Amino acid sequence: MNKKKFVYVVSDSVGETAELMVKAVASQFTGEDIEIQNFSYVEDTKDLNNVIAVSKYSDGIIAYTIVIPSLKKYLDQKACEEGIIAIDLMSPLMTAFSQKFNKEPKGQPGLMRKLDDNYFRRVEAIEFAVKYDDGQEVQGITRADIVLIGVSRTSKTPLSMYLANKKFKVANVPLVPEIEPPEELFDIPRNRCVGLVITPDKLNEIRKERLKNLGLATQANYANLDRILEELDYAENIMKRIGCPVINVSNKAVEETADSILAILKKERSLLI
């Protein structure tokens, strides 16, 4: 029966990187009884002394991803003194980066986790925008960072997705004369809501093109100018009731409108602080 081999994964952060690398290597040694133990968030030499003591007692290997220079130096020195194999998993690549970019690393633990958190916040915001698109599930109105309102074809959905990629949770609500807007719209602070308007001629043009792409008659009520004027007038009255800022999207790209929204909301919110 093989004697159990111990590998201690040590990190001044979570240690996921080191653990994955150790597992990948361990998988190449089938038949060996290898146990991997984690020592995460080591903060001082006392933590490292514990690792050294355990490793020496079990005749184990230390594999580490430590970016704080003083801790790395201490671990290397103590491991050498105690005859323990300690493998620095990051230094070779870190050195290559430094040489290539002519720049020193930050030496700050947890930076990858921060990047991951940003990624997951963006994914969460995108999922939110999809779930609460076009007035679906009005509960999203009270949970959103930004609520966009306007008639059909005022770029509510593309704006929601663009802002979601900037990690804002966005809900959008279409305003239609025959449908009473959700009560939640009138309960949220006005500095979380933005109205989108457009000139009648531009909207008429956009809607006709939309109908054409769908293979429908461009004379449909959806693109009728009188109907468009009715919708815009209704939407304007709702926006006045809410008291929210309004942006004309007639000749604006999505990116430009998004920047305007963020600028307006920043100003509105600062006035209320």
Tell me how far apart the alpha carbons of residues 57 and 54 are, in angstroms, rounded to a whole number. Answer: 5
153 labelled ligand-binding: yes
157 labelled ligand-binding: yes
154 labelled ligand-binding: yes
151 labelled ligand-binding: yes
152 labelled ligand-binding: yes
150 labelled ligand-binding: yes
Binding-site residue ranges: 150-157
| Binding site, annotated residues for ADP | 150-157
